[in-house]
């Protein structure tokens, strides 16, 4: 049976926010500079930047922190750090970021499962929000432009209010309670018509993209394309592209020793998991002073492959969600994935045309 859908008039959004705050601390996009937004704790609706298209960091930061202590060495014993996270409500997550969370969930749930990630993920509620694409968005090409998974409730802006759908059982309960308290009303046919029109208009609004049907073969067959050298010559190996990516999860384990010891000569220490980047020079360095991805070209090609088809065999999906963050954050302009893919596909098509039939 289909779940009921609701309509939230915009003037009643503060009441809806109060219902969310009753579940836990609410985080939403907040404007932090002239052109930048970040997920931060909010208390009032006026603090939320509804116009935010992409935040600096994706919502993965709530479940996979930049630095996290896993183990401590105290009093001569090794102790696992088991955090009991507080319930969080993450509001304003767009479809591409929802897809990113779905990918992260799949990866971190894979046996034996990452308990640190999963514990935080299970004590959260994700509220999705519709958006209109800009020139950097290519989620339509990646098939992540519509909400499918990774959320509990989704709001679609239909001018004077929001068309609301519940995905999970806890999301449906939230909506049912809000309806009982007269915060929401049942969606009528007029609301449903505006909902359909929004998604049709949004589909026509994308300015950029590429074909995906031959993406895997293109990446394989154009592995030696000259564009890689050109991009590698400009790459700074700064790693900006990886922390902003909704699905990059590479990490390093760092042992932090105590700066002082106790009277018996012992000292406390801890082991932390910290974000790392495959674009850093030392990322692929191993014993014997050998680096199997020594140059920017090697690292850049690895990252592109990882995003565009490295997970096809293992999981059946690509790990790029088309949010455009890497393009926006790259100081050298080499992470314009759409431009690079179009160059590779054009080269492949030209070679195919020259083949005898």
pLDDT of residue 268: 80
How many whole angstroms separate alpha carbon 65 and alpha carbon 275? 8
Residues 124-177: pLDDT tens digits?
Answer: 999 999 999 999 999 999 999 999 888 999 999 999 999 999 999 999 999 999
**Residue ranges of domains in the chain:** 5-66+80-204, 215-242+279-353
Strand partners, 28: 40
pLDDT of residue 155: 98
pLDDT of residue 262: 60
Q: CB within 8 A of 69, min separation 6: which ones?
A: 81, 270, 271, 272
pLDDT of residue 71: 92
Residue 50 CB coordination number (10 Å): 15
How many whole angstroms separate alpha carbon 72 and alpha carbon 79? 5
Angle between helices 296-308 and 227-234 (to 10 degrees): 110
Q: Pick from 34, 45, 66, 19: which is nearest to 243 by CA?
A: 66
For the chain, which ranges sit under pLDDT 70?
1-2, 260-267, 354, 356-357
Q: 């067959």: which residue's tokens?
A: 221
pLDDT of residue 311: 85
């Amino acid at each position: 049976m289909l779940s009921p859908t609701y309509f939230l008039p915009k003037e009643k959004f503060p009441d809806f926010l109060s219902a969310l705050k009753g579940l836990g601390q609410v985080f939403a996009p907040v404007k932090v500079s002239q052109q930048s937004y970040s997920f931060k704790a909010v208390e009032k609706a006026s603090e939320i930047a509804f116009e935010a298209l992409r935040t600096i960091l994706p919502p993965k930061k709530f479940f996979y922190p930049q630095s996290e202590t896993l183990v401590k060495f105290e009093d001569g014993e090794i102790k696992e750090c088991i955090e009991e996270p507080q319930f969080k409500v993450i509001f304003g997550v767009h479809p591409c970021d929802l897809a990113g969370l779905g990918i992260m969930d799949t990866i971190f749930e894979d046996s034996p499962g990452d308990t640190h990630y999963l514990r935080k993920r299970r004590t959260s509620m994700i509220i999705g929000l519709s958006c209109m694409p800009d020139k950097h968005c290519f989620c339509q090409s990646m098939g992540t432009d519509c909400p499918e998974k990774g959320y509990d409730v989704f709001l679609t802006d239909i001018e004077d209010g929001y068309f609301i759908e519940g995905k999970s059982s806890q999301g449906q309960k939230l909506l049912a309670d809000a309806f009982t308290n007269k915060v929401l009303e049942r969606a009528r046919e007029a609301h449903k018509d505006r909902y359909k029109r929004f998604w049709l208009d949004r589909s026509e609004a994308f300015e950029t993209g590429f074909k995906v049907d031959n993406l895997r073969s293109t990446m394989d067959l154009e592995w030696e394309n000259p564009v890689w050298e050109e991009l590698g010559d400009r790459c700074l190996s700064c790693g900006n592209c990886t922390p902003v990516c909704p699905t990059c999860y590479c990490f390093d384990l760092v042992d932090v020793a105590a700066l002082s010891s106790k009277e018996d000569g012992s000292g406390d220490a801890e082991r932390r998991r910290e974000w790392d980047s495959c674009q850093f020079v030392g990322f692929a360095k191993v014993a014997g002073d050998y680096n199997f991805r020594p140059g920017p070209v090697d690292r850049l090609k690895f990252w592109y492959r990882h995003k565009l088809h490295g997970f096809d065999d293992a999981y059946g999906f690509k790990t790029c969600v088309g949010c455009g963050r890497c393009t926006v954050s790259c100081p050298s302009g080499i992470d314009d994935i759409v431009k690079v893919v179009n160059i590779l596909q054009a080269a492949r098509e030209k070679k195919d045309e020259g083949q005898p039939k």
